[in-house]
Structure 1
Amino acid sequence: MRDELVAAYLDRLGTPRPERLDTAALRALHRAHQERIPFENLSIHLGESISLDPDDLVDKIVHRRRGGFCYELNGLFAQLLRALGARVDLHGARVYGAGTLSAPMAHLTLLVHTVEGGEPWVCDVGFGAHSTYPLRWAEPWVQEDPGGGFRLVNAGDDVDVVKDGEPQYRIERRPLELADCVPTCWWTATSPESHFTQGVICSRLTADGRISISGDRLIRTVDGVKTEETLADDAALMAAYRDHFGLELPRVPVRTDMPGDPAGR
């Protein structure tokens, strides 16, 4: 990533360029990313194509000031961290849901080695409500975080990430390239079986909790207390995207016919 793009990305995050990518700098970037760049699937419901090409990710997230989901957010974050001097490996993960595991590579996460050396950190700015700060890879005990108590547990050849006693996803130890995620990204964005095609979500971390839009509901969590408000009409919904997420959208994101969906749902 060129220096001018690094500067633009850091401006998007509202953070200065760190002198070195040490643990403190990584923690600051990890939190700022989740506060400033929303986890969202709006492209799917705006009829926009989703590309994992590095230039396209920069255009969408940095220049057009949008968000994205795991392949986009973690894929671009990896480029920034590498440009700042970290060694970054991309890893696929299988996501837990209703007590079962998804297919491989349903999620993308990062293992990041800072300039200090030692064990890497699990960095994930693309899983919605998750850890505020990176998680130490080799620690088997609970790591306390504003997002909850996290443990990394060996699961055969892989590693489960557990939050408050509930498994979230299983990281595969074999590293991959972002291009390897293109087929699963396409499935996530197009399949009627994908939960991303079944509903609209936009969410980001805040200083005291989280704020989200799910469908026509504005959801706030402040100091652990959740409240919900139904937005009255399209104008209120567009204003909420703009005021709470800085998103200037061409129209209200609505569920549209997905390619490959014979039912046209």
Structure 2
Amino acid sequence: MDVDAYLARLGVDRPAAADLATLRLLQERHLLAVPFENLSIHLGEPVELTEDALFDKIVRRHRGGFCYELNGLFAALLRALGYDAELHAAQVFHPDGTPGPPLDHAAIVVSLAEPWLVDVGFGKFSRLPLRLSGVDAQPDPGGDFLLLDAPHGDVDVLLDGVPQYRLERRPRPLADFVPMAWWQATSPASHFTKSLTCSRPTSQGRVTLSGDRLIETVDGVRHEVVLGTEAAVRLAYRVYFDLPLTRLPTPPGESPLTSGALSPTLP
């Protein structure tokens, strides 16, 4: 990995120490610089969970990605900087409070003097690392987080009292997530095939481009506008997300899901 190129993508100098302060800085800068997006699914691009492919996409081509991609590459960067960082699987909670399937999400656990939950691939989530062994509410710019013991030694992560996901304690290699990443990218039942999104936090809230709808939240106030033209959408991708798209993604329902372009690539 070209660590300096990755750090330049985040706008960060090479850190002097692999400590908590640096980890906090890296997580927040990653969230601000690299959007959470599922555009590859609607562009007919392959979803490749290998470090080389992810580096090419996120660093060289200046794109974002979804959880397996963002946290998969960020974990590799952290390890290259000297952190003990491993991927962990999680089950995302449904609106009715039931957990989804295993390996539904990938997050990172970094072991320092104590373990910390790091996540740059869940969309609206914590800006800063969360103490994995904490029992009290943890205030964060993204909201108030609470981590609770769950069955089988897992950990439930709640945001403002609402369950977000159930985290496994055991670490996983990136290859373990390949089958579920393929399902997320191809199944008509997947949230990602049914929606088109590109989102990142800002200093005052959050900005999201969903198809041709631009949604900005500033100091808790939501503003939404329909852009209307392809030129306006293309400009929004560049201005708000610094994404140099050569073409726009196909709207959900028309994506080339059976073209073979989305076949999983094993590490």
Shift of 1:201: 0.2
Q: Is the 8 A contact 1:89 1:110 kept in 2?
A: yes
Whole-Å Cα distance in 2 between the matches of residues 41 and 204 of structure 1? 12
Counterpart AA for 2:31: Q
| Alignment partner, residue 150 of structure 1 | 145
- Cα offsets for 1:42-79 (capped at 9, x unmatched): 00000101101110000000000000000000000001
SS of structure 2 residue aligned to 1:185 = helix
Alignment of 1:65 with 2:59, yes or no, is no
CA contact 2:42–2:193 (8 Å) conserved in 1: yes
Partner Cα distance (2:45, 2:128) in 1: 31
The answer (yes or no) to whether the contact 2:32–2:202 under 8 Å persists in 1 is yes
Matching residue of 1:263: none
| 1:191–1:259 CA contact under 8 A, matched in 2 | no
SS in 1 for 2:93: strand
Partner of 1:191: 187
User: Equivalent residue for 2:104?
Assistant: 106
Give the secondary structure class of the aligned counterpart of 2:225.
strand
Aligned to 1:32: 29
For residues 108-160 of structure 1, the C-alpha deviation after alignment (integer angstroms, 9 at most, x for no partner) is 0010023xx2x111000000010010100110110000100001000112110
The code of the aligned residue for 1:71 comes to Y
Q: Which amino acid aligns with 2:240?
A: H
Superposed counterparts of 1:1-265, under 5 Å: 1=1, 5-99=2-96, 100-114=98-112, 117=113, 119-157=114-152, 158-254=154-250, 255=252, 256-259=255-258
Deviation at 1:259, TM superposition (A): 2.4
TM-score if structure 1 supplies the norm length? 0.94
Decide whether the 8 Å contact of 1:88 with 1:113 is kept in 2. yes
Separation in 1, partners of 2:94, 2:248: 29
What count of residue pairs does the alignment treat as equivalent? Answer: 255
Question: How many angstroms apart in 1 are the aligned matches of 2:14 and 2:218?
Answer: 30
Cα distance between partner residues in 2 of 1:146 and 1:82: 26
Question: RMSD of the alignment, in Å?
Answer: 1.2
User: 1: CA distance between counterparts of 2:15 and 2:115?
Assistant: 19
For residues 9-66 of structure 1, the C-alpha deviation after alignment (integer angstroms, 9 at most, x for no partner) is 0000001111001111000000000000000000000010110111000000000000
* Amino acid in the other structure paired with 1:190: T
Residue 98 of structure 1, CA deviation: 1.9
| CA–CA separation in structure 1 for the residues paired with 2:162 and 2:258 | 34
**Unpaired runs of at least 5, structure 2:** 260-267
User: Post-superposition, which runs of at least 4 consecutive aligned residues in structure 1 deviate over 2 A?
Assistant: none
Amino acid at match of 1:147: G
